[in-house]
């Protein structure tokens, strides 16, 4: 077989292959509306009103997300730090009374992510639901001790008149300032008084108010 004959056969075979293609391409497009939802069934992504200059200003003020997430994040209060805070507020952390703040604190070590040095486990610094709940329970249990101790605490008495958390059933700014470690605002007083007045009894309201103010102060709220 000569080279010319082989070339002729190859050309003929390619031509036959081309003629085997279908004359019509089947329409596989699904009917309208079969694969997409209507405006009532899908979320409308409204991209109008986006201001890139506002985003640039925010990034210039706060920094990029990878930086601001570290600087502006709020870690939980360390387990040992909470003990020192409670002691500074007059709470007896040596108490063995059931459901006292000291007992709830000791029994809630795992819930609050306390370190386990024997097992080489570091402290969990993330605020968890169980840890926040136990912390609020501790503050609620410690509230009567704190209310009674504030007038005698050195940290609360910088003037001639002892600080108090309550004058009768009214919240006092001097005691709230000592409790939070920052000057009490009108918002603090309004919240405290509203909590006391809306509770089943004033005493219950005082306990809830003190616990809520402490919980907010130590969870970065």
Inside any domain, residue 47:
no
CA 164 to chain centre: 31
Please report, to the nearest 10 degrees, the dihedral formed by the alpha carbons of residues 32, 34, 40, 43 taken in order: -110
DSSP codes joined into one string, 148-172: HHGGG-GGG--SSSPP-SEETTEE-
Inside any domain, residue 98:
yes
Inside any domain, residue 174:
yes
Q: Judge whether residue 6 has pLDDT over 60.
A: no
Inside any domain, residue 97:
yes
At 157, the pLDDT band (50, 70, 90 cuts) reads confident
At 30, the pLDDT band (50, 70, 90 cuts) reads low
- Residue count of the chain, please give it: 221
Q: At what angle do helices 173-180 and 186-198 cross, to 10 degrees?
A: 110
Inside any domain, residue 122:
yes
Q: How many CB atoms lie within 10 A of CB 209?
A: 26
- Across 45-49, average pLDDT: 57
The C-alpha angle 61, 62, 67, rounded to 5 degrees, equals 140
Q: Is the model's pTM score more than 0.75?
A: no
Inside any domain, residue 154:
yes
Percent of all residues in the chain with a pLDDT value above 90, rounded to a whole number = 44
Inside any domain, residue 107:
yes
Structure-block tokens of residue 182: 């920052």
Q: Distance (Å, rounded) from C-alpha 66 to C-alpha 63?
A: 8
Q: What is the pLDDT of residue 65?
A: 75
User: Is 163:150 a contact under the CB 8 Å cutoff?
Assistant: yes
Number of separate domains in the chain: 1
Q: How many CB atoms lie within 10 A of CB 88?
A: 15
Range of the domain at 145: 79-217
Inside any domain, residue 187:
yes
Per the model's pLDDT, the better-predicted residue between 90 and 16 turns out to be: 90
């Amino acid at each position: 077989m000569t080279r010319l004959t082989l070339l002729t056969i190859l050309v003929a075979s390619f031509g036959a292959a081309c003629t085997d293609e279908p004359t019509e391409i089947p329409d596989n497009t699904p009917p309208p509306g079969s694969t997409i939802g209507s405006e009532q069934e899908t979320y409308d992504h409204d991209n109008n009103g986006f201001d890139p200059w506002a985003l640039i200003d925010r990034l210039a003020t706060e920094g990029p997300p990878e930086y601001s997430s570290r600087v502006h994040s709020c870690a939980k209060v360390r387990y040992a730090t909470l003990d020192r805070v409670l002691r500074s507020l007059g709470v007896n952390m040596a108490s063995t009374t059931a459901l006292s703040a000291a007992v709830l604190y000791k029994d809630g070590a795992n819930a609050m992510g306390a370190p386990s040095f024997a097992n080489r486990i570091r402290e969990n610094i993330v605020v968890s639901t169980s840890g926040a709940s136990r912390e609020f329970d501790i503050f609620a249990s410690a509230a009567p001790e704190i209310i009674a101790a504030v007038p005698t605490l050195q940290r609360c008495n910088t003037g001639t008149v002892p600080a108090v958390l309550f004058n009768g059933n009214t919240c006092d700014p001097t005691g709230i300032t000592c409790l939070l470690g920052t000057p009490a605002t009108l918002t603090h007083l309004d919240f405290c008084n509203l909590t006391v007045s809306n509770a089943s009894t004033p005493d219950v309201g005082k306990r809830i108010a003190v616990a809520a103010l402490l919980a907010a102060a130590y969870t970065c709220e």
